[in-house]
Amino acid sequence: MAAYYVTTPIYYVNDAPHIGHAYTTTAGDVLTRWHRQRGEQVWYQTGVDEHGTKVQRAAEAAGVAPQDWCDRLVGESWQPVLNTIDAATDGFIRTTEERHRVGVQHFWQVVRDNGFVYQADYEGPYCVGCEEFKLPGDVITEEDGTVLCPVHGKPVEMLSEANWFFQLSAFTNALIEHYEQDPSAIEPVSAYNEVMSFLRAGLKDISMSRSSVTWGIGLPWDEKQVTYVWFDALLNYVTAVGYGAAPGSAAATEFDRVWPADVHLVGKDILRFHAVFWPAMLMAAGLPLPRKVFAHGWLLVGGEKMSKTRLTGISPELIVDHFGSDAFRYYFMRAINFGHDGSFSWEDMTARYNAELANGLGNLASRGTAMVQRYRDGALPVAGELTQAENDLVALLAVTVARADERMLALDFSAGIAAIREFVEVVNQYVTEQQPWVLAKDEADSLRLDTVLNTIIESLRAISVLYYPVMPKTMAALWEQLGAEQALGAIADQRIEHVGDWGQLPASTPVVKGEGLFPRLVDRDSDE
């Protein structure tokens, strides 16, 4: 069975990760967990880019060798952050790995053999921060003649090198035709329009090597040159899943199963590399193109893009230590419309945590499990005849599942989560209206109380499965409290298509009120 293959950008290790990196990784994790919940085979890939000028200079400034610099940062920061945000990745690749080097050299030899690489001189601006050869329209020229990178606000470097060039211009029409036939291959629409405008202006050949950089993968036909860092890094998407391995090997078989990628998740600032350079490279090598490149917006802090350079980078650990990993995941997928810029603030996250998680879902779970314990000795009662109130919830759940599934598959995480949250609110309203604490006072209402309690717990069963891709730790805990692990099996094995099947939890299932799902937050400045 072919795998649903999702990738994050390959992150640059010149510094430790900030929440902008964690944001992309969380989105990919939520997406792939959702697809797993649908019973699909999935491969979720991430990794780090360790070559290039920026890393070499950072290592030199620290007084260590580039490999030692990378080993420390990857081991102490980049791999641990996956655990911090509970990202269930299937693969992690480093561009210093031998499998990557072999794949990169094989790829470029194929492209050269196909006639798309030639030698020429390069002279022009280069931004080390972007690791990008800049076109005239990509830079800002100050009144004093200083040429700046608009992304980093720093002067570019003027290079003059004898390099090898990739014949990018040969693929202008082929790329235009490809995207016209399949507009969904680039999303959102704003990203598609940007790429098409760039393509219709005509592509120019680009240097695919560097002669003045030593930290990189050497060209197989020219030992004095290394592969331009982007033309090294982009290849991780194929080398990570077996490209370049010996024909007939297990790795080569895996490549045939996994490639092409279904979704490349990228920040909008690297859209051109992924939607223009990368597919052109694949065309030159005779490989299938990825099915979709999705460019999300920037995380803004104080109106600026998240950046270590501008001191607006915030570590994921700082937020997770206070709110917890599931609240981190929920907030960034819920509060920001994926594909658009979004602002982060501690105050907004606190407000949403309290309103939507602690007082919303957490309160519902706490009330529901506590009342089953109090009124039915912790055993789920059999529901009696359903009234209009219960039938409305059953019908709404079916709508919720369909809506959430549609939106999650479309990478509209905010709307998918909103659909689930609306169901939570309706169930909370149901509890308020049915007043089970009042029904418990009169033996004549015993059967009615059974029905109400059963309905609350069944609703929580469905909610826990729907929210599991977003908040895996907390929903697994809720699943245990509901007795669903024992009655229905692991929450990860529950399928989206069956979430709306009402009445899955059998009578007498043991329900336990555990610790609160979303505990009260202690103020950061408090001594408590």
Active-site residue set: 18, 21, 127, 130, 149, 152, 305, 308
Q: Residue 346's CB: how many other CB atoms inside 10 A? A: 14
Q: How far apart are CA 464 and CA 477, in angstroms?
A: 9
Whole-number Cα distances in Å, 317 to 30, 45, 85, 177, 324: 19, 22, 9, 44, 9
Burial of 155 (C-beta count, 10 Å sphere; 0-12/13-18/19+): middle
- Look at strands 218-219 and 222-227 and give their pairing: antiparallel
Residues contacting residue 108 through CB under 8 Å, at least 6 positions apart: 117, 208, 219, 220, 227, 231
Amino acid at 135: L
According to DSSP, the residues that pair with 218 across neighbouring strands are 226
Is it true that the peptide bond before 188 is cis, omega within 30 degrees of 0? yes
Is it true that the peptide bond before 260 is cis, omega within 30 degrees of 0? yes
Q: How far apart are CA 267 and CA 252, in angstroms?
A: 30
Q: Are 85 and 320 in contact (CB under 8 A)?
A: yes
Q: How far apart are CA 342 and CA 324, in angstroms?
A: 21
What are the CB-based long-range contacts (under 8 Å, 24+) for 423-429? 423/396, 423/397, 423/459, 423/462, 423/463, 423/466, 424/360, 424/361, 424/364, 424/463, 425/360, 426/393, 426/396, 427/364, 427/393, 427/456, 427/459, 427/460, 427/463, 428/360, 428/363, 428/364
Closest CA to 469 of 419, 413, 429: 413
Q: Tokens 């045939």 belong to which residue?
A: 256
- Look at strands 11-12 and 4-7 and give their pairing: unpaired
Closest CA to 439 of 422, 425, 453: 453
Q: Tokens 């600032």 belong to which residue?
A: 269
Residues contacting residue 386 through CB under 8 Å, at least 6 positions apart: 394, 451, 455
Number of H helices, E strands in the chain: 22, 19
Q: Residue 304's CB: how many other CB atoms inside 10 A? A: 13
